[in-house]
């Protein structure tokens, strides 16, 4: 029962908010209770009234027991412990990237590499394949399934298919695969042509957001499948053009969006361009998304651990994300000669390239007042969730011996206590936001006002 897993929130200050632009508005309106009130060392966990939004709050996801070790002494918590099954949902990864960036090449690499994992693949293409019996393939979007949603985001139209396919996959093939890989983007020319023939014009064709949201908005998916990560392929040769493309008002630049939502970024086709061009692209990508790990690659020949089992949506794995770096750091010794605004005094970074979408990170030592932090973060999400694509954070809350970690995608928020702070460990808060029109100084000011 979801309700039995719900946790008392400190300040559940937000009420339902309807978002007419949200393609999922009909399915879910969301509430964002944010942080927990620590009760000395005891987390307070008790049954709360069932609500349609409970899936968005922390602990909706079945958690490993260790999360609750601090609360095991109380009887109600013991009761809770017995009700929490281990999270044995199937992991799913999303591979996205612009047309021709190398998604299929990477997919083939995943399917042929010697990693011992059985991979189920879902592609946005017609046709069904079965390779070696280890690949469970599924097909998508028939013409009858294409519908325009309110916001014109065509990618949302695949949601119904995705739900259907994943449900089918799980019901028929559960136990026969270890990982699901979803290739987004309507990369197939068949579908592209079909859309053009139908005179359907769209934005967000390859925007991963609706696919990400599907994992949280649909019970059938959420209960069975856990989103592992978004892997974005970037074409080293052509990405610059796509990033530069000026779109009509209200139309998103898909190349930017794909980067913004990523947990892992593979700058592919580096054989086609010189080092300086790649370095400048890498820098540009970092300005959009400082949370993702990045690698330069040829023909998607990446270590499989880099793309599978990354836990990009797992608050437990937050630390590596907030400290994200380019793996191939040797390539990253570049002159810092471009238009950044650094605020070293406050350890925050507000990058001003590609002003539409950027990353803001705040690193600040101190303890947060829970009520203030709740108010700040909650208000921010209520007012700006359209603009905040992703965020991750690691917080030090006064009176709480554990670190509080959270991650979010627009108005989907997951947070939970993490490990204990070490006795001599500096209690440093780290938050990264990726979004549109973010003002780093304003965000930092709001955050600092929550510190005691």
Ligand X SMILES: Nc1nc2c(ncn2[C@@H]2O[C@H](COP(=O)(O)OP(=O)(O)OP(=O)(O)O)[C@@H](O)[C@H]2O)c(=O)[nH]1
Residues in the site for ligand X, rule: CB under 6 A?
A: 97, 99-105, 185, 187, 268-269, 271-272, 298-300
Q: Residue 28 or residue 264: which is nearer to ligand X going by CB?
A: 264
Q: How far is the CB of 256 from ligand X (least distance, A)?
A: 17
Q: Residue 44 or residue 188: which is nearer to ligand X going by CB?
A: 188
Enumerate the β-bridge partners of residue 234. 267
Closest-CA residue to 102 (of 299, 364, 385): 299
Q: How far is the CB of 183 from ligand X (least distance, A)?
A: 7
Token duo for residue 251: 């139309």
Q: Residue 235 or residue 402: which is nearer to ligand X going by CB?
A: 235
Gap between the Cα atoms of 210 and 22, Å rounded: 10
Q: How far is the CB of 316 from ligand X (least distance, A)?
A: 31
Q: Residue 263 or residue 350: which is nearer to ligand X going by CB?
A: 263
Gap between the Cα atoms of 389 and 444, Å rounded: 18
Q: Residue 257 or residue 402: which is nearer to ligand X going by CB?
A: 257
Q: Residue 205 or residue 443: which is nearer to ligand X going by CB?
A: 205
Q: How far is the CB of 271 from ligand X (least distance, A)?
A: 5
Q: Is 167 helix (H, G, I), strand (E, B) or coil?
A: helix
Those residues whose C-beta lies under 8 Å from the C-beta of residue 62, and which sit 6 or more positions away, are 5, 84, 85, 86, 87, 89
Q: How far is the CB of 140 from ligand X (least distance, A)?
A: 13
CB 154 within 8 A of CB 186: yes
**DSSP-derived secondary structure letter, 411:** T
The torsion of the CA quartet 313, 314, 320, 326, rounded to 10 degrees, works out to -20
Gap between the Cα atoms of 221 and 90, Å rounded: 10
Q: Residue 185 or residue 256: which is nearer to ligand X going by CB?
A: 185
Q: How far is the CB of 102 from ligand X (least distance, A)?
A: 4
Give the strand pairing for 42-43 and 38-39.
antiparallel
Q: Which residue is nearest to ligand X (CB)?
A: 187
Q: How far is the CB of 299 from ligand X (least distance, A)?
A: 4
Q: How far is the CB of 236 from ligand X (least distance, A)?
A: 8
Other C-beta atoms lying within 10 Å of the C-beta of residue 427 = 17
Token duo for residue 207: 């925007």
The torsion of the CA quartet 23, 167, 416, 305, rounded to 10 degrees, works out to -110
Q: Residue 254 or residue 350: which is nearer to ligand X going by CB?
A: 254
Q: Residue 97 or residue 435: which is nearer to ligand X going by CB?
A: 97
Token duo for residue 397: 């809350």
Q: Residue 102 or residue 315: which is nearer to ligand X going by CB?
A: 102
Q: How far is the CB of 67 from ligand X (least distance, A)?
A: 38
Gap between the Cα atoms of 323 and 430, Å rounded: 9
Q: Is 358 helix (H, G, I), strand (E, B) or coil?
A: strand
CA angle (369, 370, 376) in 5-degree steps: 90
Q: Residue 111 or residue 363: which is nearer to ligand X going by CB?
A: 111
For 440, the enclosing helix (H) or strand (E) is: helix 440-448
CB 312 within 8 A of CB 300: no
Gap between the Cα atoms of 82 and 89, Å rounded: 18
Q: Is 419 helix (H, G, I), strand (E, B) or coil?
A: strand
Gap between the Cα atoms of 47 and 258, Å rounded: 38
Q: How far is CA 312 from CA 92, 166, 309, 357, in A?
A: 11, 20, 8, 20
Q: Residue 47 or residue 104: which is nearer to ligand X going by CB?
A: 104
Q: How far is the CB of 111 from ligand X (least distance, A)?
A: 12
Q: How far is the CB of 239 from ligand X (least distance, A)?
A: 12
Q: How far is the CB of 108 from ligand X (least distance, A)?
A: 8
Give just the sign of the alpha carbon dihedral 203, 407, 375, 445: negative
């Amino acid at each position: 029962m979801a309700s039995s897993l719900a946790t008392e929130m400190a300040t559940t200050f937000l009420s339902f908010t309807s978002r007419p632009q949200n393609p999922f508005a009909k399915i879910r309106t969301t509430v964002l209770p944010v942080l927990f009130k620590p009760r000395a060392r005891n987390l307070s966990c008790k049954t709360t009234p069932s609500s349609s939004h409970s899936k968005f709050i922390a602990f909706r996801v079945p958690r490993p027991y260790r999360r609750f070790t601090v609360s095991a002494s109380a009887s109600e918590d013991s009761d809770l412990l017995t009700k929490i099954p281990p999270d044995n949902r199937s992991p799913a990864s999303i591979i996205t990237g612009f047309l021709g960036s190398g998604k299929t090449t990477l997919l083939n690499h995943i399917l042929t590499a010697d990693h011992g994992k059985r991979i189920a693949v879902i592609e946005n293409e017609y046709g069904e394949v079965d390779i070696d019996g280890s690949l469970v393939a599924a097909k998508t979007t028939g013409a009858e399934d294409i519908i325009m949603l309110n916001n014109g985001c065509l990618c949302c139209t695949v949601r119904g298919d995705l739900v259907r396919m994943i449900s089918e996959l799980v019901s028929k093939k559960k136990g026969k695969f270890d990982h699901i890989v979803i290739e987004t983007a309507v990369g197939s020319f068949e579908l592209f042509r079909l859309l053009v023939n139908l005179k359907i014009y769209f934005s967000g064709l390859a925007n991963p957001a609706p696919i990400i949201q599907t994992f949280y908005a649909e019970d059938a998916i959420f209960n069975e499948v856990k989103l592992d990560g978004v892997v974005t392929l970037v074409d080293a040769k052509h990405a610059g053009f796509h990033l530069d493309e000026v779109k009509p008002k209200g139309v998103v630049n898909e190349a930017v969006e794909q980067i913004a939502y990523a947990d892992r970024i593979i700058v592919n086709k580096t054989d086609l361009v010189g080092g300086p061009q790649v370095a400048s692209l890498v820098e540009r990508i970092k300005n959009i998304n400082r949370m993702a790990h990045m690698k330069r690659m040829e023909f998607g020949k990446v270590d499989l651990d880099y793309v599978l089992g990354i836990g990009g949506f797992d608050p437990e794995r937050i630390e590596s994300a907030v400290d994200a770096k380019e793996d191939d750091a040797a390539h990253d010794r570049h002159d810092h000669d471009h238009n950044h605004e650094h605020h070293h005094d406050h350890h925050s970074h507000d990058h001003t390239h590609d002003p539409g979408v950027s990353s803001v990170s705040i690193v600040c030592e101190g303890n947060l007042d829970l009520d203030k932090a709740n108010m700040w973060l909650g208000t921010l999400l209520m007012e700006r969730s359209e603009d905040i694509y992703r965020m991750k954070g690691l917080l030090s809350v006064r009176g709480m011996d554990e670190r509080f970690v959270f991650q979010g995608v627009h108005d989907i928020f997951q947070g939970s206590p993490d490990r204990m702070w070490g006795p001599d460990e500096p209690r440093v808060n780290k938050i990264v936001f990726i979004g549109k029109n973010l003002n780093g100084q304003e965000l930092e000011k709001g955050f600092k006002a929550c510190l005691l």
